[in-house]
Amino acid sequence: MSGVHALLPIKLVAQAKQRLARALSAEMRARLALAMAEDVLAALAATPGLAGITVVTADPAAAALAERYGARVIQDGALDGHTGAVLAGTRRLAAEDAAGVLALPLDVPCVTPAEIAAVLDAHGAPPAFTIVPSHDRMGSNCVVVSPPGAVPLRFGDDSFAPHLAAARAAGIAPRTLDLPGLALDIDHPADLAALLRRAPTTRAHALLAAASAPQLQDMPS
């Protein structure tokens, strides 16, 4: 579907990925957050058919990175958590008459332009709702809503089933896609090991590999 605008919230990188504290230092977590954000931005920038990219952030380094990839940066809701940032960005895009919003997090570094294109291709005429679950089918790793705001969004560890229910409550039959790159969100130490095993071309992988952290291979979740 044409006219869909990508929306990427990036929190303050110094506060990012607290659940990885057992495996990575605060400095490495901040560097990883920026590396993953760049992987996602590169995939979005290389995807044909997107109407634009908006990054919601109050972090200067993240803002500079976003601008390098041609994304617009806004601060509305940037300090209100992932859900608050998505909702604020969605309101802005709705006011600008965007046809739809594709929202995804920064921690899916394995996403590819082909996967994003597949999501857009699967998305139907409005009103429509398309979702890609996390690998454990608990989280929502990519959501497309048209028109913006047609389905109330609330993200978290257990948001996939509630999002399906919210779409149905809005009278929209949700479409679900299982895509391996988008499915891998980096939340726990075990996810770092999975990233090291399967994503050698990502910036996030390069950062972790250069850090020489073999202990990550066997870290429990």
Q: pLDDT tens, 23-64?
A: 899 999 999 999 999 999 999 999 999 999 999 999 999 999
C-alpha span between 100 and 4 (Å, rounded): 4
Whether residue 54 lies inside any domain: the answer is yes
Whether residue 221 lies inside any domain: the answer is no
**Could you tell me which residue, 212 or 135, shows the higher pLDDT?**
135
Report pLDDT for 210. Answer: 87
Whether residue 219 lies inside any domain: the answer is no
Whether residue 186 lies inside any domain: the answer is yes
Whether residue 218 lies inside any domain: the answer is no
**Residue 8 CB neighbour total at 10 angstroms:** 25
Report pLDDT for 73. Answer: 98
* CATH number, domain containing residue 203: 3.90.550.10
Report pLDDT for 100. Answer: 97
Whether residue 217 lies inside any domain: the answer is no
Whether residue 29 lies inside any domain: the answer is yes
Residue 214 has pLDDT above 50, yes or no: no
Find out whether 66 and 74 touch, Cβ atoms under 8 Å. Answer: no
- Pick from 15-19, 72-76, 156-160 the range whose average pLDDT is largest: 72-76
User: 140-146 and 100-103: which strand pairing?
Assistant: antiparallel
Find out whether 85 and 62 touch, Cβ atoms under 8 Å. Answer: no
Q: Which residues pair with 146 in a beta bridge?
A: 128
From first CA to last CA, the distance across the chain in angstroms is 37
Report pLDDT for 1. Answer: 44
Q: How confident is the model at residue 200 (pLDDT cuts 50, 70, 90)?
A: confident
Q: Which domain holds residue 77?
A: 4-212
Residue 216 has pLDDT above 60, yes or no: no
Closest CA to 143 of 121, 163, 166: 163
Whether residue 10 lies inside any domain: the answer is yes
- What mean pLDDT comes out for the span 123-136? 96
Count of structural domains within the chain: 1
Report pLDDT for 198. Answer: 83
